[in-house]
Structure 1
Amino acid sequence: MAATDSTMPQEEAAPNRALVLVTLTFVTMLYAMTVTIANVSLPQMQGALSATTDQIALVVTFNIVATAIVTPMTGWLTGRFGRRNTMIWGVGGFTIASFLCGAAPNLETLILFRAAQGAFGAPLVPLSQAILLETYPKKDHGFATSIYGTGVVLGPVIAPTLGGYLSELLSWRWVFFMIIPFGVIAFTGVITLIKSRSDRPSTKLDWTGFISLSIAVAAAQLMLDRGERNDWFNSTEIIAIAGLSCLALYFFVAHTLTAKPGTAFLNIAILKDRNYVLGLLIVFVFGMLNFTPMTLLPPLLQTVQDYPDSIIGWLLGARGIGTLVAFAMMVYLSKLDPRPILITGFLIQGLAGFAMANFDVNVTTFDVAWTSCLQGFGVGLIWVPVTLITFSTMDPKLLPEGMAIFHLLRNFGSSVFISISFAVVIRTGKTNYSEMVEQISPFNERLGMPFVAGRWSFDSTEGLAAISGEVGRQAVMVGYVNAFYLFSLACVCVIPFVFLVRMKRASR
C-alpha cells in the first residue's frame, strides 16, 4: 500500500470541520447499519431460503470477510482515484448492492451481494476515520472521535429496530431496501462536502501481496464456516482449504519480507511501533466481541422462545443505547489515560457475556435487553481508547496504511469469532442432544409422573414429537450458553496485553 491523497494535513475552518464531521459520521452510520441489519431477520431468511443455522450465518460472515479483504486496499484506492471518488463509488456501489440483496432470489445470490456490499463499504470507515483525524488537530482527536463514534452507534440502533418491524410487516427483503434512502443522503453529503486534492501522488498496488493475503483470509473464513458441517479435519475438503490458507499466508509473509522497501502491500515499518502492534492484537479481540452477541441472539430467541422479528429488533437496539451512553461519556473521559477505560470496557463485556451464559429456555425480554445494553456499553468504552492507543505513537505518514490494517483485523476478528461461536452452538448442541435422549425412556420413572410429563407421552406420535422438540430446545440452549461462556473468556484473556501499552506524557 502506498500513501493516500489524504496524508497532507488539511487547513479547515471550524464550521467546515463540523460539516465534514457530520458527513463522515453519516457515512459510517450507513455502513454500521448493514453490518447489523441482517441479524434481526436471520431466522426469517433461514426459513424463506431453506437454510441451516450455519448456512444462514454466511450472510453475516461473508459480508464481514469481504470488508476485511478490501479494507487494506483503501490506501491504494485513495492514492489512485482520490478520496472523493473512492467515497462516491463506495457509497454508490454500497447502496446498489443493498438493493440487490433485497431482490436476491436464493441464498447463494444473497451471499454474493452481501459480499459486494462489504467490498464497496470497506474503504468507507478507514478512509472516513483517516480524514477525520487529519481534519482535526491532535488535541481534539478524542472529542472528534467520540462524536464520530455516534455513527457507529446509531446504525446498530436504527437498523435492527426499524428492520425488525419492516421484516415482520412485509418481509426480510425490506431490511435491505430501507438502506437505500440513507444511501442517497450519504451520497449527496459526500459529493457536496468531501474535497479532492490536487497533490495526490501516483501509487501502485502490490497485487502479489494483495492476492495472497486475500486468498489466505478468504480460505480461513471458508474453512471456519464449513468446518462443522464437514466434520473439520476428517474432511478432505477442509484439509485442502486449510492448506491453501496456510500456503497463501506463508507466501504473503515471505513476499512482504523480501520485497523492496516501499513496494510491499504491507509496510513493515508500521510494525516497529510497539503500541500499534499491541493495538492490532486488542482490536482483533474487540472485533471478535463486537457483533457476536447480535448474531447469536436472534436465532436463539426465535428457536427457544419463538420471538417475533419486531421484538428481536428492539432487543438488539438496546445494545446501541448502551453504546450511545458510553460514547457520550467518552467525550469527557477521552482526556484521561485510556488504559483503565479500556480494561473497564472489556470487563463490562465479560460480565455481560457471563450473564448471557446464565440464560435458560425461559429467557425474558428484560434479560436480553439489559445484557445487550451492558454489552453495548462495554463496546462504547473500548472503541475510543483502543483507537487512541493504537495510533498515539504512529508517524502521521503511515496513518492511512495503519488504519487499513487496523480495520482489516477488526473485521476479520468479527467474522472468525461468529463462525467459531456458531460451530460451538451446533457441535455442543448435538452432543447434549445425544446425552439427553439417553434419559428419555419409558423406564425412566420420573417421566411417568403427570406433573413432570405434562403433554409429553410415549403413547402417541404427538407426544413423542413434543418430547423430541423439548429435548432439542434444551440442547440448543446449552449450545448457546457455551458460546457465551467462550465470549466471556475472550474478554478476560485480552486484558493483560493492555498493561503492556506505553503512553506518552501529554504535552502541555
Structure 2
Amino acid sequence: MDQTHTDVPHRGLITLSVMLATIMQVLDTTIANVALPSMVGDLGASADTINWVLTSYIVAAAIMTPVTGWLADRIGRKELFIVSVVGFVAASMLCGISWSLESMVLFRLLQGVFGAAIVPLSQTFLLDINPRERHGQAMALWGAGIMVGPIIGPTLGGWLTESFNWRWVFFINLPIGIIAVLGCAAYLPSIARRLRGFDFFGFAMLSLGVGALQLMLDRGGEVDWFASVEIWIELGLAITGFWVFIIHLLTAKDPFIDPKIFLDRNFATGLVFIFVIGVILLASLALLPPMLTHLFNYPTITTGLVMAPRGVGTMISMLIVGRLVRVVDARFLVVTGLLLTAQSLYTMAGFTPQMDSYLIISSGVVQGLGLGLVFVPLSTVAFATLEARYRTDATSLFSLVRNIGSSIGISVVTVMLTRNAQINHAELSAAITPFNPNLLATSPAAAAGDPAALAQLDGLVNAQALMISYVDDFKLMMLVTLCAIPLALLLRKPRLAPAGAPAAHMD
C-alpha cells in the first residue's frame, strides 16, 4: 500500500529502533579487532589463523549486501529487517560461546550474512519515513551511527576485553538487539511486497567478484601479496566475476540490478564519493591505533580516549550540517568538508615521535568535522533525484561500495606502511657508520661498536623509519582527498519539495 510521509506514526521511535540495530551492526566491524589476541588461547588458534575471525565476517557481509533489494521486495522490508536483527543477535550469542576457531568462523559467517542488510535497510527506512526537506537531518542521524561506530568500536572492545572477557564483545549485542527488535516489530510500517524474478547468474558473478576481492584484500598482507599463488587466483576470480557481471548487466533482459540506476548522475557520483570516504575514514582508523600503541606506547584505553574527539567532531558536524543542507548548496558543503579533511591529513603528515597528544586530538576533531560535512550532504544528494522504487537496491550498493573502499584503503596503506618502513630503515641505517662525525658526537659507544648502544640506536632508527612511513600514508590520503574535490561539480542541486508536501511515496 502507498503511505505518504505525512501519516507515518511514531517516526521518532522508528528512528530510535532502526539506529540501535544499525549502530550494533557497525560496531561489530571493528569491536572484535582488539579482542583477537585474547581469543587465540581460548579457541586453540595461532596468530595467523585467528584473522579468519575478521575475514569470514567481512566476506560474508560483502557477498550478501547486494541481494538486500531483492530480498526486501520478496519478503518485505520490515520482515527482512527484523529477521536480519534477530539472526545477527543469535549469531552474536553463538560467537560468544564459541569453543574452537572453526565454530567461531562459522558463526561469524552467519553474523555477516544476517548483518549485511541492516545498514542499507536502515538508510532506506529513514529516507522513506521522512519528507524530502528532512532528508538532510535523517541522513545526519544515520551517518552519525555509521561513522562514529567504527571509531568507538576498538575502545569499547578493549574495555570489555580488559574488564570482563572477550566473549562480552559479542554478548553486548543481546540487550541492544532485543530493544531494536521490539521497537521495529511494534512501529515499523508494513510495505507492499513487489515480486520480481531472481537473476541467479548475475548474483553469482557479483558475489564471485566481491567475495574474491575482499578475500584478496584481507589475506594479501599475510601471504605477501603477489608473491603468493593464492592472491593471483583471487585476483583472477575477482576480475572474471566483475567483468562477466558488467556484461550480463548490460545485455540481460532482467538483470540482478537495473542498470537504469546508474544513469542518475547524482547517485553515480555519490558512489565514487562514498568510495573515497570509505578509504579515508577506515584507513586512518586502521593506522592510528597501532601508531599510538607502538610509537607512543599508549595503552588501549588511552588510545581510545585520544581518538574519541574524532567522533565528537563528526557528531557536531552532522548536527549542524543536517540543518544546513536545507539552505546551503550541498556541493559547497561537500567541498568544504573535503578541504577540512585534507587539512587534517596535512597536519597528520607533520606528526613526530616526540609530540604530545594535542596534535592527534586536534587533527582528529578537524577530520571528524570534515567527514561529517561530506557524508551528510552526499547521502542526501545521492538519493535526491533517484526514483523511490530503486531506493533499496541503491542503498545496498552505497553500503557495498563504501565497504569495498574501506577494504582497499586499509590494504593499500598497510602495504605502503610495511614496504616504506623497510626502505626508510635501510636508508637511515646507511648513514650510521663509525666514520660519521654526528654519531661520534652523540653516541661514542655506538660508534665504538658497543652492543647495548647499537641496540638502542636501532630502536631509534626503527621508530623514525616507521614514523616516516605513517607520514607518507597520511600524505597519500591527503592527495586522494584533494583529487576528489572536482567530482563535486558533477553533483546536481535537487529541488526540494515545499515543506509538508509528500515528496515521494513509500512504495
TM-score of Structure 1 vs Structure 2, range by shorter chain: 0.7 to 0.9
Describe how 1:91-102 pairs up with structure 2 within 5 A. 91-102=85-96
After TM superposition, the structure 1 stretch with the greater mean CA deviation from structure 2, 60-69 or 476-485, is 60-69
| Number of the residue aligned with 1:320 | 311
CA distance in 2, matches of 1:372, 1:458: 42
Summarize deviations over 1:50-103 as a string: whole Å, max 9, x none.
Answer: 637xx8877666644543322111112212222233222211222233344455
CA separation of 1:331/1:231 partners in 2, compared to 1, >3 Å: closer, same or farther?
closer
Is 1:497 matched up with 2:487?
A: yes
Question: CA-to-partner distance for each residue in 1:236-293, whole Å, 9 max, x for gaps?
Answer: 3333222221111111112222211xx2112111111122211111111112112221
Cα distance in structure 1, aligned partners of 2:167 and 2:266: 43
| Cα deviation, residue 41, structure 1 | 5.3
Deviation at 1:168, TM superposition (A): 3.4
Contact 2:31–2:156 (CA<8 Å) still a contact in 1?
no
1:406 alignment partner, SS class: helix
1:282-297 aligned at under 5 Å gives the runs 282-297=273-288
Q: Give the distance between the partners of 2:40 and 2:426, measured in 1 at CA.
A: 24
Distance 1:59 1:358 in 2: 35
Matched residues in 2 for 1:385 and 1:456: separation? 59
Structure 1 residue identity aligned to 2:278:
G
Aligned pair partner of 1:239 in 218, 223, 232: 232
Name structure 2 gaps, 5 residues minimum: 499-507
- 1:437 aligns with 429
Change over 3 Å in CA distance of 1:453–1:31 after alignment to 2: farther
Q: For residues 365 and 108 of structure 1, do their structure 2 counterparts lie closer, same or farther at Cα, with a shift above 3 Å needed?
A: farther
State the partner residue of 2:214: 221
Query: Following the alignment from structure 2 to structure 1, what is the Cα–Cα distance between the partners of residues 100 and 433?
Result: 41
- 1:423 Cα shift? 0.9
Q: 1:156: Cα distance to partner? A: 4.5
Change (3 A) 1:46 1:295: farther
Q: Tell me by how many angstroms 1:437 deviates.
A: 2.7
2:346 equivalent among 335, 346, 354:
354
CA distance in 1, matches of 2:434, 2:311: 49
Q: 1:271 to 1:334 in 2, by over 3 A?
A: same
Q: 1:367 and 2:326 equivalent?
A: no
Residue 34 of structure 1 pairs with residue 28 of structure 2: yes
CA distance in 2, matches of 1:457, 1:39: 44
Picking from 238, 248, 251, the partner of 1:255 is: 248
What is the number of equivalent residue pairs in this alignment? 495
Match of 1:187 in 2: 181
Instruction: Determine if contact 2:148/2:314 at 8 Å carries over to the other structure.
Output: no
Q: Which amino acid aligns with 2:350?
A: N
Give the SS at the match of 2:354: coil
* 1:265 aligned residue: 256
Q: Output aligned runs, 1:405-416, within 5 Å.
A: 405-416=397-408
Query: How far off is 1:30 after superposition?
Result: 1.6
Report the residue type matching 1:403 in the other structure.
Answer: T
2:118 aligned partner: 124
Inter-partner Cα distance in structure 1 for 2:340 and 2:466: 26
Counterpart pick for 2:13 among 11, 16, 19: 19
Distance in structure 1 (CA, Å) of the matches to 2:427 and 2:112: 41
Q: Partner of 1:422 in structure 2? A: 414
Counterpart Cα distance in 1 of 2:374 and 2:96: 33
Distance in 1, matches of 2:227 and 2:51, equals: 22
Matched, 1:51 2:9: no
Q: Work out whether 1:446 is the aligned partner of 2:438.
A: yes
Q: Is the 8 A contact 1:25 1:149 kept in 2?
A: no
TM-score, normalised to structure 2, is 0.88
Residues 185-204 of structure 1, C-alpha deviation per residue, up to 9 Å, x if partnerless?
A: 2232223222434x313333
Q: Does 1:310 align with 2:310?
A: no
Partner of 2:70: 76
- TM-score of the superposed pair, with normalisation by structure 1: 0.87
Contact kept in structure 2, 1:9 and 1:134, CA below 8 Å:
no
Q: Aligned residue for 2:502?
A: none
Contact 2:381 2:494 in 1 (8 A): no
Q: 2:142 and 2:383 mapped to 1: Cα distance?
A: 16
- State the match for 1:3 in structure 2: none
Q: CA deviation at 1:448?
A: 3.5
